[in-house]
């Protein structure tokens, strides 16, 4: 193999020039208006911005007021059509650092030099809800990454779930129509707990595996920083010798994979519908940069048919125990956007944006996406020139004979706008493959023209059963609870019965539990007798660290200042974020003449917005209201299985609440090292073994 893998040097580094070029490119468009004169969009300085031009101070407004017309017209057109799916999203800039040379598999240059840095932009999103919907809805999350490579933009456009509802893109409009608010009344918003969605599921049973994921805790992530990402589809790596390998992509968060509980998710949706974007924004501002390791699963082309599933089927995973995930690099999100509309809303992802060495497969869902994404951007962004919007522009130069159209920003000079030509020496001209030109993989294709699916896609339940068998007991209960809620909202008894009968093919106990909850007949089927499991699918098998968790310290006047001071220092040493919560903002007096500054109140904050609470005690002039607030925070945190720490003074509330001493309950007077015990409990994050009912 030509070209050994090399270590990245910090000397004459072309990639650093690329990054500088990116900064220059964005710098042309980043404008700070502070201290500048007010002008029109044509740079004409205006003398007034308070009144329109009139015929007399009380007369009619004149049509010739170009400043008024420009200002109103721009306002009228400030909203572009929101995305049909993935409308509610948030994004950040970052970089990708390669840890392992992949030259053996692909000619993609950004995957060659160990240590190479590639700038990128990542957008997270919910799928079903509108742009104004809550972020903690039970839903699939989009996980899209745009790499600004030296060979052009590469978009890895995926989700936080590795499979999808359907196998062929022709059914995508039907899926989304079924999941969206029902047309006769336009509700429910950002929810699939209604008749049309579950009617679609029951009559399109290829969705079984995806439904198991969406009914699991994966569909209510605690934040974007603790959410896994997947490319979903099977792609190809192609090397310099033309040899291809099948590949799937994984993003693994450094902080582990963690989720909300359903009651908590619903309450957060009311308390803070911006919960996920606020978390991402504040984490980056605090320099707690989210990190995700990029992993690949690779299958040799000659092994395509050796599995008991079709590797091109988007409703199937490649179990990690069979095809291990190999970590090759790390993404760090380290800069918030300057303007949400200009960047997050105008970014145009497309799975067809690839670089040499990355190619497609015959996955019929992927094939449809290659058309759909481009077609969508033409409508949303006003025409074919959306690649010229700063957030979409590649860092390397681009040259072609495309011209005109809405919102053209480039000014192409010269008389030639066609190929082939002699007036411009036949330029811009194609690049030979051996010089970096893109070449599609030369796959042999033959067969009859037919509108049909492959029989190898017909197994809809074995991997749904694999997922169920892989869950911990509490995860299984959460899935049952999710089905009970979602299907329980369905008005049609026939649809409820169809869903129950369908999921008997996954597990008879699961479907019987659903049937009991939603008031239909127990299922009548015999599911396959298999206990196959994949431990990697359970969220039990993830990272547990206290880093970046958020703790509320609850105190009143006269709190034990020494204990609280030591607690604050111990938590900050572990990079835990702290809010001091009391009945009022500002100075709270403690013992020994010490004070603390409360930055939240019981009203401005909420227990569901924290990963844990530390009950510090204290008092108030209105003791009844103070105690009521303290007990509310304790009860909510207890009910959501989170750790709670009690100082000696704060422990008086234990007997007055539902709390039972045991897992995740740390009491100062009962442990030798109160602070260490609390941090260890924080790292675990949830105590599912806790009996929350007294």
**Which residues are catalytic, by number?**
86, 159
Q: Is the peptide bond before 188 cis (omega within 30 degrees of 0)?
A: yes
Phi, psi dihedrals of residue 461, rounded to the nearest 5°: -120, -20
Contact between 582 and 598 (Cβ < 8 Å): yes
Q: Which residue, among 604, 600, 598, has the nearest Cα to 586 in the 3D structure?
A: 598
The β-bridge partners of 441 are: none
Show Cβ contacts of residue 4 under 8 Å, excluding neighbours closer than 6 positions: none
SS3 label, residue 159:
strand
And the tokens for 472? 């911990």
Residue showing tokens 């020039």:
17
What does the block give as tokens for 300?
Answer: 């040799």
Cis peptide upstream of residue 376 (ω within 30 degrees of 0): no
276 phi, psi to nearest 5 deg: -75, -45
β-pairing, 644-646 vs 612-617, is parallel
Continuous segment of H or E residues that includes residue 20: helix 14-27
The CA R_g of the chain, rounded to the nearest whole Å, is 28
Side-chain half-sphere of 273: how many Cα atoms within 13 Å? 11
The candidate with the shortest Cα–Cα distance to 555, out of 484, 603, 613, is 613
3-state secondary structure (DSSP) of residue 333: strand
Neighbouring CB atoms inside 10 A of 217's CB total 24
CA-nearest of 239, 214, 223 to 128 is 214
Q: Is 444 helix (H, G, I), strand (E, B) or coil?
A: coil
DSSP letter (8 states) at residue 466 = H
H helix intervals, 306-400: 364-380
Beta carbons of 566 and 594 less than 8 angstroms apart: no
CA distance 120 to 124: 13
Contacts 24+ apart (CB under 8 A), 131-135: 131/82, 131/83, 131/87, 131/88, 132/88, 133/87, 133/88, 133/189, 133/190, 133/273, 134/190, 134/269, 134/270, 134/273, 135/88, 135/269, 135/273, 135/274, 135/275, 135/276, 135/277
Q: Rounded to an integer, what distance in angstroms lies between the CA atom of residue 599 and that of residue 583?
A: 10
Output the six-digit token pair for 15.
Answer: 């990639």
In this structure, is the dihedral angle defined by the CA atoms of residues 325, 328, 334 and 335, taken in order, positive or negative?
A: negative
Residues 640/264, Cβ–Cβ less than 8 Å = yes
* Location of structure tokens 């429910």: 188
Q: Residue 70: is the preceding peptide bond cis (ω within 30°)? A: no
- Say if residues 313 and 167 touch (Cβ distance below 8 Å): yes
Element (H, E) at 498: helix 493-503
**Pairing, β 550-555 against β 577-582:** parallel
Residue 447 exposed, middle or buried by CB count within 10 Å (0-12, 13-18, 19+): exposed
């Amino acid at each position: 193999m030509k070209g050994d893998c090399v270590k990245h040097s910090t000397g004459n580094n072309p990639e650093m020039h690329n990054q500088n070029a990116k900064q220059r490119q964005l710098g042309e468009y980043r404008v700070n208006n502070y201290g500048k004169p007010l002008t029109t969009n044509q740079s004409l300085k205006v003398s007034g911005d308070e009144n329109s031009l009139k015929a007399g101070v009380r007369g009619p407004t004149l049509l010739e007021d170009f400043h008024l017309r420009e200002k109103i017209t721009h306002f009228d057109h400030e909203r572009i059509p929101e995305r049909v799916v993935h409308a509610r999203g948030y994004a950040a800039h970052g970089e990708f650092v390669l840890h392992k040379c992949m030259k053996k598999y692909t000619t993609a240059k950004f995957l060659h030099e160990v240590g190479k840095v590639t700038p990128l932009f990542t957008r997270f999103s919910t799928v079903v809800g509108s742009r104004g919907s809550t972020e903690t809805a039970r839903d699939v999350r989009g996980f899209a990454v745009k790499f600004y490579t030296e060979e052009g933009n590469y978009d890895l456009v995926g989700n936080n779930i590795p499979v999808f509802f359907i196998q062929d893109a022709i059914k995508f409009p039907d899926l989304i129509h079924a999941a969206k608010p029902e047309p006769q009344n336009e509700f429910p918003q950002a929810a699939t707990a209604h008749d049309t969605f579950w009617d679609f599921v029951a009559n399109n049973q290829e969705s079984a595996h995806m439904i198991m994921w969406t009914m699991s805790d994966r569909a209510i992530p605690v934040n974007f920083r603790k959410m896994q990402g997947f490319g979903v589809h099977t792609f190809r790596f192609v090397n310099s010798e033309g040899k291809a390998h099948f590949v799937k992509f994984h993003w693994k968060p450094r902080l582990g994979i963690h989720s909300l509980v359903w009651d908590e998710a619903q309450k957060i949706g009311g308390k803070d519908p911006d919960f996920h974007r606020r978390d991402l924004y504040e984490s980056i501002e605090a320099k707690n940069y989210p990190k995700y390791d990029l992993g690949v699963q690779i299958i040799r082309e000659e092994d395509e048919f050796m599995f008991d599933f079709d590797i091109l089927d988007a409703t199937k995973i490649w179990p990690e125990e069979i095809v291990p995930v190999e970590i090759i690099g790390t993404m760090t999100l380290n800069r918030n956007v300057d303007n949400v509309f200009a960047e997050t809303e105008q970014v145009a992802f497309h799975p067809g944006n690839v670089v040499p060495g990355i190619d497609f497969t015959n996955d019929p869902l992927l094939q449809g996406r290659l058309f759909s994404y481009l077609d969508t951007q033409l409508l949303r962004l006003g025409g074919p020139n959306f690649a010229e919007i700063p957030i979409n522009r590649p860092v390397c130069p681009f040259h072609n004979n495309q011209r005109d159209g809405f919102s053209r920003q480039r000014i192409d000079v010269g008389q030639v706008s066609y190929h082939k030509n002699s007036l411009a020496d036949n330029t811009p001209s194609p690049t030979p493959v051996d010089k970096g030109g893109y070449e599609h993989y030369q796959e042999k294709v033959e067969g009859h023209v037919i509108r049909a699916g492959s029989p190898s896609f017909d197994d809809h339940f074995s991997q749904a059963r694999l997922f169920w068998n892989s869950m911990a007991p509490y995860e299984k209960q959460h899935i049952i609870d999710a089905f009970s809620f979602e299907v329980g909202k369905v008005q049609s008894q026939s649809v409820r019965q169809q869903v129950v009968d369908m999921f008997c093919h996954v597990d008879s106990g699961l479907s019987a539990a659903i049937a009991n909850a939603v008031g239909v007949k127990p299922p009548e089927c015999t599911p396959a007798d298999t206990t196959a499991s994949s431990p990697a699918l359970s969220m039990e098998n993830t990272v547990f660290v206290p880093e970046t968790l958020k703790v509320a310290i609850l105190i009143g006047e006269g709190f034990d200042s020494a204990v609280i001071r030591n607690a604050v220092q111990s938590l900050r040493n572990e990079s835990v974020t702290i809010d001091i919560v009391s009945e009022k903002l500002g100075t709270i007096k403690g013992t020994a003449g010490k004070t603390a500054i409360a930055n939240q109140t019981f009203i401005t904050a909420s227990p569901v917005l924290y990963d844990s609470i530390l009950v510090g005690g204290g008092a108030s002039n209105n003791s009844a209201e103070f105690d009521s607030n303290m007990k509310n925070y304790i009860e909510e945190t207890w009910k959501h299985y989170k750790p709670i720490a009690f100082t000696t003074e704060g422990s008086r509330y234990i007997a007055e609440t539902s709390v039972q001493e045991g897992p995740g309950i740390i009491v100062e007077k009962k442990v030798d090292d109160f602070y260490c015990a609390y941090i260890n409990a924080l790292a675990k994050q949830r105590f599912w073994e806790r009996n929350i009912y007294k």
